[in-house]
Structures are given as C-alpha cells and as structure tokens.
C-alpha cells in the first residue's frame, strides 16, 4: 500500500498540535494518545493530568477577526468530540475522571482553556 500523502493543511494542523502538546507537557500533563480516530469523530490529544483523563481539541486561526480559534468550535464539533470521547472510554472497566480542554491559538497567542465542554 502506498504511503498516504498529507495535505499542507494537515501538516499545519500537525504542527499546531505539537505546539499544544509541548505547552501542556510543560504544565505537567502526559500524552496518552495523539489523533485518536473513530467512526464518530476524532480527538487531537488525549492527555493525563494526575488521575484525570483530558481530551484536548487544538484550534488555530491566524487572528481573531472572525471570533478566533475557540469560537470556531461549533455545536456539531462538540457532539463529535463527545462521541469520540465516549467511544474512547469504552476501553476502561471504570470511567476515570475526565474533562475537555481546548488549546486555542490565535496568531502567536496560545490560550489553554480548561474544562470548557460540559457533558
């Protein structure tokens, strides 16, 4: 099978996920899994902070002209994130404490928004 080619947009997304990962790791979170995909959706980063599993969505925009990176998370995107997280959690015999964080990158400004999605 031929290697899959990535688009420039996918490469850019991968870059920003690495920036977010480095930031979170610098604050004590440990990577569990990157780019978890399932039929219902995908999760950019699954991290662990002490006993809490953290599902992280990374969003990047060049600037905040149209509301910025955090504002680009639509209700449909939230549903896909929650569905992917629910699928991910099926592997555990007991559901660990978990939360949803967003790393919003607008230009050169990175904001780590903790526990932003209520389920």
Residue 32 lies in a domain: yes
pLDDT at 3: 63
Counting the structural domains of the chain, the total is 1
Q: Is residue 100 part of a domain?
A: yes
Q: In whole angstroms, give the CA distance from residue 3 to residue 95.
A: 36
118 assigned to some structural domain: no
Q: Which H or E element spans position 89?
A: helix 75-89
CA distance 31 to 49: 9
- Identify the CATH number of the domain in which residue 75 sits: 3.40.1350.10
Cβ neighbours around 72 below 10 Å, total: 15
The tens digit of pLDDT for each residue in 1-27 reads 556 665 666 656 688 899 999 999 999
Name the token pair of 65.
Answer: 């002209």
The domain in which residue 33 lies consists of 8-113
In this structure, is residue 1 part of a structural domain? no
Query: How confident is the model over 71-109, as pLDDT tens digits?
Result: 889 999 999 999 999 999 999 999 999 999 999 999 889
Residue 2 belongs to a domain: no
């Amino acid at each position: 099978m031929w290697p899959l080619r990535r688009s420039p947009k996918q490469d850019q997304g991968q870059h920003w996920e690495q920036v977010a990962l480095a930031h979170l790791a610098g604050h004590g979170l440990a990577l569990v899994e990157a780019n978890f995909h399932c039929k219902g959706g995908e999760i950019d980063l699954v991290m662990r902070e002490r006993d809490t599993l953290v599902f992280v969505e990374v969003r990047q925009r060049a600037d905040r002209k149209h509301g910025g990176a955090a504002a680009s998370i639509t209700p449909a995107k939230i549903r896909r994130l929650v569905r992917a997280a629910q699928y991910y959690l099926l592997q555990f015999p007991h559901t660990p404490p978990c939360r949803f964080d967003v790393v919003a990158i607008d230009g050169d400004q990175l904001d780590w928004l903790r526990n932003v999605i209520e389920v």
